[in-house]
Structure 1
């Protein structure tokens, strides 16, 4: 499938410009319409105003809060315009056939709840790795609540491509679904390689079955059984960096939620150290 619409929720915080730039790179690669979604609290939510305050004080604080929110929104819009201009991407509220476009939409309310609803109207959701790998309610809602495949990218990403793809196979339902949803990407890749470890396969015939499945879709692939390390996630990232892969396909998490990630690793380590985007599904 072609990702005609991509959903990218943002907040404030550090490296906003870099995160928006990374999202635009992904949209440009897929020739998609990118919806950058910003949830904005109301002045009352921002200031946590007490009803015991006088009306005059309430009005003054409300005015200050509105000014802060408007300034934040304008700053975000300026960054979107600037980065879109650099990458020659048009601003448009409507998707353009075979053209890359971007829009910034804003809604008032709590971010995680709004993201859970608004993320359902797209083909792909994307998110920058959370700061210091801290998994917030917003990040988890983006990855797990849309029902769509998700792509997590480094906060400072300069290039996005999908020529060389690594599949991190742990035999879970999550990676199985991610693999199926990544078929269109894998079909266009020049190299597809699978890594796993002995704890996830009964014997290497399992991997032959996986290769045969990919071959049905016209995907030529190879595999390797690797050793994991004591540091969860380290083996995967070392392998992907050493072999210069562009994208990792993996399961988002297991039954314990976002506490676990592919190849026996934890989400925190991978999100904190990965220099490569990760395509995942729940």
Structure 2
């Protein structure tokens, strides 16, 4: 079951949408949300390999602290407002008994904060990367490749979804990546009202078919339905279409069977889902 959710933020305007998605899950599971603001360190802002006079270096340090303090105070106030709007308890007295939230400020690069804080989170919630503005790719990549935890990608939404986790779809092809997604998210499947297995009929041989998965889940007390989809189109797009047609509010899938760089350059099922998803997806790598 999801009891802890990490939401890394850095003042790019996407944190409120991600927190709204995390809040829906927090209410479902009585989970605790940690909003982690990643403060840039002055040394991370210094140009590499360029000599800087001491007076200029001191000025950059002072100004960077001032900017970081202002940004942190703004983020803290925003979390206070959002917590009330999203009905998240900020008192710190009811963690584990209801949907709660806490604000955490930590100095360092966001990718490093995600690595450290994410490893003891049940779920890391991040914004869907913005390819046009080249925002969010490193955040998603750090969460997926360096935390060892499931990552919820939240597409932009004018209003947060009414439910998440009520009807979950699982992308299945019998691969090691799909099996890892199943293992890491089986508690999400167990608490769902409905589970749909998305399959185009391909698998890794005997013992890995969608039918075998139905039997496996039944032993875990999970009733699942197989949803077949046509594999003649782009598999990533067809997965999303099949998930939406089944009525799922969230999809679970293994991510980047090929390397992230190869899929980014040449395309791949995961990258297609990252680029085109309009509903939340939990990735596992």
**Structure 1 residues 102 and 205: CA distance shift in structure 2, 3 A:** closer
Range with bigger deviation, 243-252 or 18-27: 18-27
> What is the aligned length?
278
**Structure 1 residues 188 and 68: CA distance shift in structure 2, 3 A:** same
Deviations 1:79-109 (A, max 9, x none): 1111101122122557613122111212212
Q: Which runs of 5+ in 1 are unaligned?
A: none
Work out the CA distance in 2 between the residues paired with 1:184 and 1:191: 13
Deviations 1:103-157 (A, max 9, x none): 1212212221232122112222222212238563332111222222222222326
Work out the CA distance in 1 between the residues paired with 2:44 and 2:145: 26
Measured after TM superposition, the shift of residue 169 of structure 1 is 0.5
Work out the CA distance in 2 between the residues paired with 1:142 and 1:180: 18
1:44-55 map, 5 Å: 44-46=43-45, 48=47, 52-55=52-55
After superposition, the CA RMSD in angstroms is: 2.8
**Structure 1 residues 189 and 258: CA distance shift in structure 2, 3 A:** farther
Question: Does 2:235 correspond to 1:243?
Answer: no
Work out the CA distance in 2 between the residues paired with 1:150 and 1:234: 19
**Structure 1 residues 13 and 246: CA distance shift in structure 2, 3 A:** same
Q: 1:176 aligns with which of 176, 179, 183?
A: 179
Q: 2:215 aligns with which of 206, 212, 215?
A: 212
Match of 1:269 in 2: 272
Range with bigger deviation, 204-213 or 266-275: 204-213
Question: Does 2:157 correspond to 1:158?
Answer: no
Measured after TM superposition, the shift of residue 34 of structure 1 is 0.8
1:215-226 map, 5 Å: 215-226=218-229
Question: Does 2:16 correspond to 1:17?
Answer: yes
Measured after TM superposition, the shift of residue 242 of structure 1 is 2.7
1:96-135 map, 5 Å: 96-132=95-131
Work out the CA distance in 2 between the residues paired with 1:37 and 1:267: 26
Work out the CA distance in 1 between the residues paired with 2:145 and 2:105: 21
Work out the CA distance in 1 between the residues paired with 2:78 and 2:72: 10
2:195 partner SS: strand
**Structure 1 residues 229 and 77: CA distance shift in structure 2, 3 A:** farther
Deviations 1:241-282 (A, max 9, x none): 233211112112214247559xx9433321232122222322
Deviations 1:134-185 (A, max 9, x none): 5633321112222222222223261132221211112111111211232222
Match of 1:146 in 2: 147
Could you tell me whether the CA contact under 8 Å between 1:32 and 1:95 is conserved in 2? no
Could you tell me whether the CA contact under 8 Å between 2:175 and 2:204 is conserved in 1? no
Range with bigger deviation, 90-99 or 189-198: 90-99
Could you tell me whether the CA contact under 8 Å between 1:149 and 1:181 is conserved in 2? yes
1:81-96 map, 5 Å: 81-92=80-91, 96=95
**Structure 1 residues 178 and 54: CA distance shift in structure 2, 3 A:** closer
1:200 partner SS: coil
TM-score, length basis structure 2: 0.85
Work out the CA distance in 2 between the residues paired with 1:149 and 1:174: 12
Work out the CA distance in 2 between the residues paired with 1:94 and 1:46: 38
Match of 2:7 in 1: 8
